[in-house]
Amino acid sequence: MEVVSLVKIMIECGHSQHLTRERSLRAFCEQFEQTKDSLGEEVTLDAIYQVLRLMFKSREWESRYGAINISVKALDMTQLAPDSEIFQQFKTFLFEKCQILFIDEEFRVRNNVGDIMKKLIKVDGSKIYDEFKDLLFTNIRDTFNRDPKGSDASSNPNIEEKKESLPNSQKIITEKHPSLWDKQTDDMHDTEGWKSLETSMRLLQKMIEALGTDFLIFDFKEVTELLLKAANHLNRFVREISYFVVESLYKISEKCDEENKKRFIELCSDLIPVTSQGLADNWSQVRFASCCAARAYYSFAKTNDFLRQEYDKVLIPRLCLNRYYVAEGVRNYSIETWRQVAEEKGIELVIDNVEYICQFYISQCLADNHAVREAACHCISELCTKVANVDPEPFRPYIDDLLGALIDCFKDQSWPVRDSACISCGKFVQRFPEESSNRKEELFALWIAHLSDNIASVREHSAMALMDAMDAYEDEIVELIKSEIKENLMKAKNDQQKESTKHSGLSNTSTFGVVRPIDNEEEKHADQQLFSCGSLAPKLKRGGGCMDHGFTRDKEPWEHSDGCIYLVRELSRTKRAALVANYLDSLSELGFVDHFKHSAHLKENLFKSIKTIMHNLKKKFRPFLEMFLDPLFRNIKHQNRNCAAAAEDCLFAMESQFGKNIFKAILESENPSFAEEFARIKGDFHPPV
């Protein structure tokens, strides 16, 4: 009965539903132990062997997939001696099947073959790899060229074409040899037609991990040649797995003896350029894989002076930039890697490699990938705020080029790039005022223009950047600010039409941070290049010097006013804060504006800014407090909850700054209903009996 139950469970491991397969696999582990205790391990393993022979021959991929999972569990749980006859027969059977299954038509089957090979290597050691490597390398080399009739090994798990399995695995590989490029490949996506290439690379990774230091007895040359080729492959999934293979090589080097360490150090001359290339790849998943490889490398090379001196100049700039990369996984992993590598000497490490870091940042400001340009701007800002303030001298030879790269990004088509470049330019001018003076007029014009940008964060950061630049060019900036505020602060009240938009003349969607004009011309949308999900081709244009940066749209008057509100707010934190008093009356008038659709967004920023201004001016704000009470209480019940919340928060800040009793007296003096309403908001109101 135990055998019957075991067979039934094994069949369920090949069920069409994933959840059933998972439950059955857990049940198999339990039943294996029961059957082994009842009938003996050899009988149990023989029964498993007989059922697996049928499952591996099935035309249903689920059965083959389930058979692989059962095989892994059986190898893991069996306690038979390695020289046991039935165990030897079982291992030989699985090894022969792996030689066929690693080029199976189903991706999920191919992808799990490595788990069997890891278990076999654990039992029989390096001879498994030695017998299999020629077959594996032949397959990898052959599938570097894709078959136009083939299917996508990296993205299409359901392959319709059925192929006949032959007993001679080498013959199978020969018959499956992919044809060279022809006209049919021109219309294929870069993830199509690669057959078993990705999964064969993953199999190589798992075998290296299983071998550990035993892998070092083999010749590296063939593996490194394949990795160099795979790292430049068209298919991003192949590039990704190639870096995981590199990571596995770095990891085994940690535990090798001195003789093999010397061999591995020589191998780094091939692997480090590959790793650095991946750290700058256009695809986030490839970057992450290469980040894993870089961390594994430094776990081995961190204390090796030769490797640090030789290769830090290549890897350190890329690790620095990836700490600001838009993909969260890449960013967080790189931050932790940097902590492990630099420890408490991050600034010294940057200064030691300043030439290579600056050159790399400048080149990345010109990258086609908008996320890379954005990260490069953040990195240059970091140089100014965290490193150059310790020792600015090493950076002086690169100041002109760094500033030029930032200004180029300031004219970018992608608003996140403009946003980061905007604030970075301010930090740069603040740190290097004399060296930046020859381009200050250009920067002033850009900052002023972006005060009315259609993106709120760009408006805010333009105001912040102007205040940073005030440390260097105070008189000139003050005159610019006065002129800008005088001209534009009240536009929302005086010039704004009833029908307003947040993004005038633009579509309500954006691609990679680029907001585009609305158009309905059919010819603009026909016969155009197709995009893959997440693809960055064709590239987003960088700025060419004109102010519209690749698209045009009318600026709304309320956006001009909003930018000026940010400007007044930021002015209040400077030594010229006394100027703010000249504009508070106008700000209070904007609190009554409600004749256009997006007035709530303007007033939300206004009330948040008033809170900040009040905090910065402290007691000097007291003479102006009453003029803001009416607009604040008018908006605490606004239908836009963000606006209402900002008004409430501002009132609470006033009470906190001037004291509960004083603020209550002010409210009662200004309007008794204000005091009652504020008490209701706080929950302290008690109507008279």
Whether residue 599 sits in one domain with residue 461: no
CA nearest to 233, candidates 143, 322, 111, 315: 143
**What is the overall mean pLDDT for the chain?**
85
What's the pLDDT at 154?
A: 41
Helix (H) or strand (E) holding 507: strand 506-511
- DSSP letters along 561-595, please? HHHHHHHHHHHTTSTTGGGGGGTHHHHHHHTT--S
Dmax of the chain from CA atoms?
Answer: 100
Q: What is the spatial distance between Cα 457 and Cα 427, in angstroms, rounded to a whole number? A: 16
Whether residue 463 sits in one domain with residue 352: yes
Whether residue 615 sits in one domain with residue 492: yes
**pLDDT above 70 as % of the chain:** 84
Domain contains 596: yes
Q: For 525-671, where are the alpha helices, taking DSSP H only?
A: 557-571, 584-590, 599-617, 626-635, 641-658, 660-670
Sign of CA dihedral 23, 29, 34, 36: positive
| Residue 193 main-chain phi, psi, to 5 deg | 80, 15
Cα-to-chain-centroid distance, residue 503? 27
The model's pLDDT over 249-260, given as tens digits with 9 standing for 90+, comes to: 999 887 777 777
- The whole-number average pLDDT for the span 111-136 is 93
Whether residue 453 sits in one domain with residue 594: no
Whether residue 590 sits in one domain with residue 459: no
Cα-to-chain-centroid distance, residue 558? 34
Res. 420: pLDDT tops 50:
yes
Residues of the domain holding 618: 484-496+552-653
Is 508 in a helix, a strand, or coil?
Answer: strand
Whether residue 467 sits in one domain with residue 417: yes
The model's pLDDT over 553-604, given as tens digits with 9 standing for 90+, comes to: 678 899 999 999 999 999 999 999 999 999 999 999 999 998 888 899 999 9
Whether residue 590 sits in one domain with residue 466: no
CA nearest to 303, candidates 267, 352, 261: 261
Q: What is the spatial distance between Cα 562 and Cα 451, in angstroms, rounded to a whole number? A: 8
Q: What is the CATH number of the domain that holds 451?
A: 1.25.10.10
- Considering its fold, how many domains does the chain have in total? 2
Domain contains 27: no
SS (H, E, C) 476-489: HHHHHHHHHHHHHC
Whether residue 569 sits in one domain with residue 592: yes
What's the pLDDT at 622?
A: 94
Omega within 30 of 0 (cis) for the link into 538: yes
Res. 35: pLDDT tops 50:
yes
Q: What is the spatial distance between Cα 407 and Cα 547, in angstroms, rounded to a whole number? A: 12
The model's pLDDT over 597-648, given as tens digits with 9 standing for 90+, comes to: 889 999 999 999 999 999 999 999 999 999 999 999 999 989 999 999 999 9
Token look-up 């049940």 returns 27
Domain contains 634: yes
Higher pLDDT among residues 510 and 195, named by residue: 195
35-49, 265-279, 442-456, 529-543: which range is least confident on average?
529-543
Please, are residues 450 and 458 in contact by the beta-carbon 8 Å criterion? yes
Whether residue 489 sits in one domain with residue 467: no
Whether residue 490 sits in one domain with residue 456: no
Please, are residues 56 and 104 in contact by the beta-carbon 8 Å criterion? no
pTM (2 d.p.): 0.80
Whether residue 462 sits in one domain with residue 353: yes
**Confidence band (pLDDT; 50, 70, 90) for 83?**
confident
Whether residue 632 sits in one domain with residue 578: yes
Length of the chain: 689
Q: Do the bridges between strand 514-517 and strand 506-511 make them parallel or antiparallel, or are there none, so unpaired?
A: antiparallel
